Amino acid sequence: MTKKILFSITAMSLCNFFVQAQTFTLKGKLAQNTLAVNPYIYLRYELRGETIVDSCRLQQGDYYFSGNVEYPAEATLSLKVSEEKEAYYKQTRLLKPYEHTFFLDAGNMVAISAKELWDTRITGGAAETDRQAMKAAWRKIYERDEKVLKPKRDAAYSAKDSVLIAEVSRLSAKSDAEQEAVKLQFMQQHPRTGIMLKLLKEYTRTKIDPAVIGPLYDGMLPSLKTSPEGVAFGKRLAKAREISPGQPAPPVVLKDRNDSTITLASLKGKVVLLDFWGSWCYPCRMSHPHLRALYARYKDAGFEILGVSNERGEPATWKEKWTQAMDKDQMTWPNVLNAVASTEKDKGILNAYDVQAYPTKILIDREGKIVAKLVGNSESSNEALDTHLERLLGAGH
């Protein structure tokens, strides 16, 4: 067996690594490897930001790996295939028969592949057992709903029926919400699960509710919390706490289409809806009719919308795309362009409000404090916004 470990860590962290690490073994049996171009199987995973790659020569389908892990880590078993096959599966996004992803954990693990590598079942690891349980729960919901949804979806898109398409979208959203509820319930019932960090990151893809997520993060395995991924998530959670309901809204200072500076502070005294959108974003554009109706209803009662456009592509084209979309969607409320929307190192206001998806809407009261963060263009988001505005501005308007 040959091992390649890529790392650059200090002597102190190296010492901590060996003190905290626990041993794992992975004994496997592979029935078929029809696409492989050599007789080796590879194990790849990351620990504390360092990528570890191990290889083992297959002996009549048998293989064996061992090593140390500080905390459960997502890992991949893989075979070497031709560049042509690799390109094919990358382009088609089909399930790769020559790979299998799982959770590597301390202890003695056994991997059995009934056919190709993708069809592998791994036992002996607590984190992997939890991953399989979650996967089974999601699949149960998915397969149940697909029996109803697939015929409706095919019929709706074949007929190009917007009403049916909207109904299918609503049902799909309901199914997704049920899967998310199962995920949350699992985390609450298994606070020390080795897949907690992965589940937390998936569950909070678009936003974090600190009241719900904070206790889960605080109670997870210490080794997960102190991992680079855990520390990064902790920083995002801290930011979410800074912009939770009741907290002052971070400043906004950006320019409109006439190159005039617009600030959020200048709107204090009004109920303000920050709308993070982009001309390229279909759900964002579809939310604008609802915003037009709300603006017409509540503008005279002290309601203002401040659109924050986040464009893509060449910066030289941003203003044209943004202003054309504003005119087409009849956006008569103030709108500004986020000039750093597409940069990697400095996302400015997007970091301040932890914007992870579009559209994201932030409702702010007359005192400049955050009331709610709403992500996506869904019935539930629209209904929540309506309810908040009725409470803040009066149902009579």
Residue whose C-alpha is closest to residue 257's, from 163, 339, 374: 339
Average of pLDDT values for 115-134? 96
Name the CATH topology of 253-393.
Glutaredoxin (3.40.30)
For 139-171, what is each residue's pLDDT tens digit? 898 888 888 888 888 888 888 877 888 788 888
Cα separation, 198 vs 205, in Å, equals 11
Q: Which of 255, 251, 253 is nearest to 323 (CA)?
A: 255
**In angstroms, what is the C-alpha Rg of the chain?**
25
- What is d(CA 54, CA 28) in angstroms, rounded to the nearest whole number? 14
Strands annotated E in the chain: 2-5, 22-30, 40-47, 50-57, 62-69, 73-79, 99-104, 107-113, 120-123, 253-255, 261-263, 271-277, 303-309, 335-337, 360-364, 370-375
- Going from the C-alpha of 327 to that of each of 237, 258, 288, 323, 332, the distances in angstroms are 37, 14, 12, 6, 8
Query: Tell me, what's the pLDDT at 9?
Result: 31
- What mean pLDDT comes out for the span 7-34? 65
pLDDT over 90 at 268, yes or no: yes
- Specify the pairing of strand 303-309 against strand 271-277: parallel
Sheet holding 22-30, edge to edge: 62-69, 22-30, 107-113, 120-123
**Cβ neighbours of residue 254 closer than 8 Å, sequence gap 6 or more:** 261, 262, 308, 336, 337, 338, 339, 349
Backbone angles phi, psi at 25, to 5 degrees: -130, 145
Q: How many CB atoms lie within 10 A of CB 272?
A: 24
**DSSP 8-state secondary structure symbol assigned to residue 156:** H
Query: Mean pLDDT for the chain?
Result: 90
Pairing of strands 62-69, 22-30: antiparallel
With beta carbons less than 8 A apart as the criterion, state whether 338 and 309 touch: yes
Strand-pair category, 99-104 with 50-57: unpaired
**Residue 101, beta-bridge partner list:** 76
If pLDDT is split at 50, 70 and 90, which confidence band does 7 have?
A: very low
Q: Which 3 state secondary structure label does DSSP give 299?
A: helix
pLDDT class of 20 with cuts at 50, 70, 90: low
CA distance linking residue 277 with residue 287, whole number of Å: 10
Residue 229 confidence class, pLDDT cut points 50, 70, 90:
very high
**pTM of the full structure:** 0.80
Q: What integer pLDDT is reported at residue 152 of this predicted model? A: 83
Q: Which of 376, 384, 382 is nearest to 207 (CA)?
A: 376
What is the pLDDT averaged over residues 293-303?
Answer: 96
Domain spans, the chain = 2-124, 129-242, 253-393
Task: Give, for 290, the enclosing helix (H) or strand (E).
Answer: helix 282-298
CA atoms within 13 A on the CB side of 238: 6
Q: How far apart are CA 323 and CA 204, in angstroms?
A: 32
CATH, domain range 2-124:
2.60.40
For the cut 70, the answer to whether the pLDDT of residue 192 exceeds it is yes
Report how far residue 359's alpha carbon sits from residue 307's, in angstroms, rounded to the nearest whole number.
10
- pLDDT above 80 (res 71): yes
Query: What is the model's pLDDT at position 396?
Result: 56
The token duo for 79 is 């075979």
Q: What is the pLDDT of residues 131-144, one digit of tens each?
A: 999 999 988 988 88
Q: Please state the separation of Cα 42 from the chain's center in Å.
A: 28
Query: Is residue 18 scored above 60 in pLDDT?
Result: no
Q: What is the pLDDT of residue 258?
A: 95
pLDDT score for 142: 85
With 90 as the cut, is the pLDDT of residue 286 above it? yes
The pLDDT value recorded for residue 15 is 32
What is each CA distance from 79 to 4, 34, 96, 254, in whole angstroms?
16, 10, 10, 51
98: pLDDT strictly greater than 80: yes
Task: Indicate if the pLDDT at residue 11 is higher than 70.
Answer: no
pLDDT for 5 beyond 80: no
Percent share of the chain, pLDDT over 90 = 77
**3-state secondary structure (DSSP) of residue 265:** helix
- Pull the structure tokens for residue 4: 């390649």
pLDDT surpasses 90 at 334: yes
- Token pair in block for residue 270: 């009004």
